[in-house]
């Protein structure tokens, strides 16, 4: 097998902006693109292979065809033919809704789906851009309902100013929202389940307010989730991998590189996804497959990959994630 690129799945949204298309160097004229789904097995939004012998196959078709060769033996035993991760770029021109995601147990019971644990890496941020993550003070479910009803719910949430390179891990159950001006890469479980709690009383293109899920969200919210700062701190060094998030759902590191690096995956029983958030590089695997990657592109290394050598074109920043 060889490193896979996919056609992006572009999503126009109420709150979307104009950053994704130039960032990804796309020849598109779509307006209000809020999301680019980079690697997706979500039904109806499946990624399609863009390169090589398997060009035109969807990601679910690839998993069914190659099984553990693509995803790894342990992942295939754990997830079967369901690919476990969803990768996105998100451009918030306006505030996204305040929301929460269910964990595995509740999502399985209600939706026969994975839960939705996720993380954000801030690619860029306009002046004043913010992210909402978790509670700033303890509230009860009763107070939650009252505050949602009277429009004061946001007052008890932790709002953080953000800059490029900031990282937030957002486990299922944590109330959160992406603020206007934030451009993020999002790594999450394969799930499209969101409980929308508050949407700033916005109306859609038909003049209707979007559906809220206030009652459904109560069972998903972790009301004890109170911290002073929900940011994920990590060491910012060059030319070596730095682990940012290690969870049961994915492990993510960053490579900030100006020099060639060789990554040994021979002991790793998983696919690896590399997300280029800045710069460009050339990647060569142990079978002499070569691929170039630039900012805005994402590649999937199959589990059969033993080793890759990454040669930056000047400099490059890559997010590396696997299960």
Q: Establish whether 236 is a catalytic residue.
A: no
Give the Cα separation of 234 and 256 in Å (integer).
13
| Given the residues 65, 196, 202, 210, the one annotated as active site | 196
Q: Nearest to residue 36, comparing CAs of 15, 12, 59, 14?
A: 12
Give the three-class secondary structure for 178.
Answer: strand
116 is written with which tokens? 């939705």
Please tell me what DSSP assigns to residue 32. S
- Return left, alpha or beta for 239; rule: phi > 0 is left, psi -120 to 50 is alpha, else beta: left
DSSP string, 55-115: TT-BHHHHHHHHTHHHH-HHHHHHHTTS--EEEEEEEBSSPPPEEE---HHHHHHHHSS--
Give the Cα separation of 253 and 61 in Å (integer).
28
Return the active site residues.
196
């Amino acid at each position: 097998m060889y490193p896979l690129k996919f056609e992006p799945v572009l999503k126009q949204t109420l709150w979307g902006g104009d950053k994704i298309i130039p960032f990804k160097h796309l020849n598109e004229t779509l307006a209000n693109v809020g999301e680019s789904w980079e690697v997706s097995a979500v039904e109806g939004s499946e990624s399609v292979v863009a390169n090589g012998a398997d060009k035109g196959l969807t990601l679910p078709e690839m998993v069914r065809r190659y099984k553990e060769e693509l995803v790894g033996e342990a992942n295939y035993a754990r997830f079967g033919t369901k690919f476990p991760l969803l990768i996105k770029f998100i451009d918030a021109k306006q505030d996204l809704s305040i929301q929460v995601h269910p964990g595995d147990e509740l999502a399985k019971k209600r939706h026969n789906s994975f839960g939705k644990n996720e993380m954000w890496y801030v690619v860029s941020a306009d002046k004043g851009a913010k992210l909402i993550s978790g509670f700033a003070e303890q509230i009860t479910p009763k107070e939650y309902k009252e505050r949602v009803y009277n429009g004061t719910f946001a007052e008890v949430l932790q709002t953080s100013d953000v800059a490029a390179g900031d990282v937030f891990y957002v486990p299922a159950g944590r109330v959160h929202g992406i603020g206007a001006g934030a451009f993020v890469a999002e790594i999450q479980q394969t799930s499209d389940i969101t409980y929308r709690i508050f949407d700033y009383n916005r109306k859609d293109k038909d003049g209707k307010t979007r559906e809220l899920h206030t009652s459904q969200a109560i069972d998903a919210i972790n009301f004890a989730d109170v911290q002073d700062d929900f940011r994920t701190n990590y060491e910012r060094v060059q030319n070596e991998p730095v682990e940012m998030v290690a969870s049961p759902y994915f492990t993510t590191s960053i490579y900030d590189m100006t020099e060639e690096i060789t990554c040994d995956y021979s002991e790793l029983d998983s696919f690896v996804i590399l997300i280029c958030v800045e710069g460009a590089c050339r990647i060569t695997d142990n079978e002499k497959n070569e691929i170039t990657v630039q900012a805005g592109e994402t590649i999937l290394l199959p589990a059969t990959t033993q080793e890759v050598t990454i040669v930056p074109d000047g400099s490059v920043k890559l997010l590396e994630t696997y299960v």
